[in-house]
Amino acid sequence: MNSTSVEALKALLAVPQQIVIVPHKNPDGDAIGSTLALWHYLSDLGQQAVVIAPNDYPKFLKWMPGNEHILNFEKENSQAKEAIDKATVIFTLDFNHLGRIGQMQGVLEKKEATFVMIDHHQAPSDYAQIVYSDTQMSSTCEMVYNVIELLGGQCKLTPQMANCLYTGIMTDTGSFKFPSTTSRTHQVVAKLIEKGAENTKIHNHIYDTNSPSRLHLLGCALKNMVILPDYRTAYITLSQSELDAFDYQKGDTEGFVNYGLTLENIRFAVIFIENADEAIIKISFRSEGSFSVNEFARTHFNGGGHTNAAGGRSNLNMQETITYFVSLLEQYKDKLDA
């Protein structure tokens, strides 16, 4: 974060504000962890703050301290709108364009307030007055740690904040193994453990709360996997009827896409998940090495993200989506082989 932004943020928080903190739609560990950590920090400073999530999120994220105070824009719409009406400052975390917040988009586009963006995705749009955008960062949680440190608040880091921040760094780095994990990331994580982050407990909350039906759904997903060795690609499909058959709960498919990359010589892994309610196919893309799934998702599937992890959507049906996807691969053959 550059010094102008730090000074602007200091000045903003030097006076009482009504603050709304927003993660992206379908928030993940980094989105919930970073918004809740910032909420704890601002509340401890004496600011009035509230986290508003665009929609619901998986149960395995709901143990984080402060979770009970998060408003769900879809379920608690009037309370959430009231908080936005009153807001003087809006922090947007772990996303960088207002198309990522579902039904909240229209409301925030019209809203007059000071917008602060803290985010590590590519290609930020320009809705915020104070911007901390860095695509090299492992996670928004690592950035929130930096913000707290730059504001001189390291000594104010509580175990609650430490647990939230640790969670987002852990989930966004694939438990500290993705290339975005730097020595600085490990230094931050070390500090968080010193400040009270309970690493083993956090890991158990996130990864060891499987239900039998989720494991059976994983079995179905792996059975459905198609491997295209010529394109070093593996993809998985899950139809709405398969999700229903295995009692799909929000978050159950988290991590499934990564199995494709564990195959030798596979560089590009994709999962296509039908969402009958929204009449879309939600897609997750993952890659190993230099092939940019961010560009692929942005160019062909109305999405985006990072070089090695991105998401998008298709309005075609599953079969048409797969046919279209496979037809694209030939033009990327060289890049997938590089």
25 interface partner picked from Mn ion, ligand 5GP, none, CB below 5 to 8 A per type: none
* Residue 254 binds Mn ion, judged by CB under 5 A: no
Q: Of the listed pieces 133-141, 210-218, 261-269, 330-338, which binds Mn ion according to CB under 5 A?
A: 133-141
Binding residue for Mn ion (CB under 5 A) from 20, 30, 147, 185?
30
Task: Determine, following the binding rule CB under 6 A, whether residue 303 of this chain makes contact with ligand 5GP.
Answer: yes
**Selection from 62, 307, 57, 30 nearest residue 172 by Cα:** 30
Q: Which residues contact 202 (CB under 8 A, 6 or more apart)?
A: 163, 166, 167, 170
Q: Which residue is nearest to ligand 5GP (CB)?
A: 311
Q: Which residues contact 115 (CB under 8 A, 6 or more apart)?
A: 89, 90, 91, 92, 127, 128, 129, 130
Number of helices and strands (H, E) in the chain?
13, 12
In the bound state with ligand 5GP, the residue whose beta carbon lies nearer, of 18 and 178, is 178
How far is residue 259 from each of residues 47, 172, 209, 225, measured CA to CA in Å?
A: 43, 16, 19, 9
Shortest Å, Cβ 231 to Mn ion: 28
Residue 49 contact among Mn ion, ligand 5GP, none, beta carbon within 5 to 8 Å by kind: none
- 309 interacts with ligand 5GP by CB under 6 A: yes
* Of the residues 33, 66, 124, 304, which one makes contact with ligand 5GP according to CB under 6 A: 304
310 lies in the site for ligand 5GP, by CB under 6 A: yes
Closer CB to ligand 5GP, 97 or 195, in the complex: 97
Scan residues 76-135 and list those touching ligand 5GP (CB under 6 A). Answer: 100, 121
DSSP 208: S
Q: Closest distance between ligand 5GP and the C-beta of residue 307, in Å?
A: 11
CB-CB contact of 20 with 90 (8 Å): yes
User: Which one of Mn ion, ligand 5GP, none is in contact with 170 (Cβ closer than 5 to 8 A by kind)?
Assistant: none
Contacts of 285 (CB under 8 A, 6+ apart): 257, 268, 269, 270, 293, 296, 297, 301, 303, 305, 309, 310, 311, 312
* H or E segment to which residue 235 belongs: strand 233-238
Out of 172, 252, 254, 274, the only residue in the binding site for Mn ion (CB under 5 A) is 172
Chain positions contacting ligand 5GP, by CB under 6 A: 24, 100, 121, 284, 303-306, 309-313
